[in-house]
Amino acid sequence: MNSANTTVDLQRFQRSALIAGVLGVVVLGKGYFANHDQFFRSYLFAYAFWIGIPLGSLALLMLQHLTGGGWGMVIRRPLEAATRTLPLMLVLVVPIMLGVHALYPWTHEEEIADLARLGKTAYLNVPFFIGRTIFCFAIWILLAFVLNGWSCEQDRTGDKRLAKKMMILSGPGMVLFVLTVTIVAVDWVMSLDPHWMSTMFGLLFVAAWSVSALAFVIAIMAWLSKHAPMNQLVAQLHFHDLGKLLLALVMLWTYFAFSQYLIIWSGNLPEEITYYLPRTSGAWGAIVVVVALLHFAFPFLTLLSRSVKRDAGKLVIVAVLILFMRLVDFFWMVMPNFTQDRLYHQPTDMIWNIAAAVGIGGLWLASYFWQLDKMPLVAINDPRYEGVLEQAHSHSSH
């Protein structure tokens, strides 16, 4: 079971996050009346970032069931807690469904005729858009429900066959994950410009959301590893493995992002370069440089160091930096569709952006800490438990 101190800390974090979330939502609510369109834009940007952590956690959870590594066993419960927040994210997606006309040009009369000529209206219409979102959430929540259910049953019964069942489900689950993430990436973000397309956009979101989830979980594990019962289980070796996986995912995200840009740049077609023209000029161009340096160059060079990956304190600094850069990157992806080469139309627009990020994030974190305290942090009936415990003891004795 979780220690009393850990439970008290989680409850304190939950209350603090809830207060921040409520305050953020109240400020954002004022933004709805002050600037109706900006409210939905800010909401979409913040939601696109925060939904990435539970979705990326679902991908990492299935990955650890498939690979069976000790690194996956120690972060299993933090990942499962994140996936159990998906019903909350289903509720929080409702404002985006209600704000389709304010967000998406393909809902406007003047665009429909042009899109009909291109044969896109069969896909880009409001009922189908909402239906696809519900379908994707149904897949995600079902996968999370089954995997969490089997995990609870394993705790209760110790049935080793459940580990194999989770592994078998995770194979097709990963395929469904990539397909559904591609759908929502196209729907929620790429269709902000219905005339632009990229076949790499879905994979870019798969990598981006996986990076977000792993960076977040590393930060959580750095804290949990100082408290019972995780301080008896987590060793330097596990942070080393998590650091290597973080490096791999950062490189994968960079590969997808740069490949998309390189292909469009080399093609130089009018219908394709419209995405990058506003995003590489003015202040947006400066953000590109910042993201390139702090999301790729610095983490890449830092995570090559063995000592950094094995030091939880240093690793969490890199992880938090990457997580913040993910927020900046989503801001860069979403907002130029509305502001073109400017960061904002009015200075108050940034207030609504910050309020949306704090509001949605606070509500999600409150739900996450509540879920994290609902189950034991250590899955003692996991077949890998004894091996991971031996690793921790052997490393602590050196």
pLDDT of residue 252: 97
User: Average pLDDT in the 117-132 region?
Assistant: 92
Of 155, 149, 150, nearest to 2 (Cα)?
A: 155
In the predicted structure, residue 389 carries a pLDDT above the cut 80 = no
3-state secondary structure 207-259: HHHHHHHHHHHHHHHHHHCCCCCHHHCCCHHHHHHHHHHHHHHHHHHHHHHHH
pLDDT of residue 384: 79
Mean pLDDT of the chain: 93
Each residue of 23-50: pLDDT tens digit?
999 999 999 999 999 999 999 999 999 9
Q: Which residue has the higher pLDDT, 237 or 144?
A: 144
CA distance 383 to 398: 25
For 206, the token pair is 């798969």
Each residue of 278-333: pLDDT tens digit?
999 989 999 999 999 999 999 999 999 999 999 999 999 999 999 999 999 999 99
Each residue of 152-182: pLDDT tens digit?
999 999 898 999 999 999 999 999 999 999 9
CA distance 222 to 122: 48
CA distance 239 to 225: 10
Which residue, chain included where needed, has tokens 């939601």?
47
Which residue, chain included where needed, has tokens 């609504």?
352
Percent pLDDT > 90 in the chain is: 79
Which residue, chain included where needed, has tokens 């299935």?
62
Question: Which burial class, exposed, middle or buried, applies to 364 when counting CB atoms under 10 A from its CB (0-12, 13-18, 19+)?
Answer: buried
Q: What does the chain come to in residues?
A: 398
In degrees and rounded to multiples of 5, residue 341 shows phi and psi of: -90, 10
The pLDDT-based confidence of 116 (bands split at 50, 70, 90) is confident
- Please give the angle made by the CA atoms of 214, 191 and 181, to the nearest 5 degrees: 30
In the predicted structure, residue 396 carries a pLDDT above the cut 70 = no
Each residue of 182-232: pLDDT tens digit?
999 999 999 999 999 999 999 999 999 999 999 999 999 999 998 888 888
Q: How many CB atoms lie within 10 A of CB 294?
A: 16
94 and 232 Cβ atoms separated by less than 8 Å: no
CA distance 164 to 383: 10
In the predicted structure, residue 362 carries a pLDDT above the cut 70 = yes
pLDDT of residue 394: 63
In the predicted structure, residue 397 carries a pLDDT above the cut 60 = no
Percent pLDDT > 70 in the chain is: 97
User: Average pLDDT in the 111-117 region?
Assistant: 84
CA distance 211 to 131: 28
The pLDDT-based confidence of 395 (bands split at 50, 70, 90) is low
- Please give the angle made by the CA atoms of 170, 175 and 178, to the nearest 5 degrees: 120
pLDDT of residue 271: 82
In the predicted structure, residue 63 carries a pLDDT above the cut 90 = yes
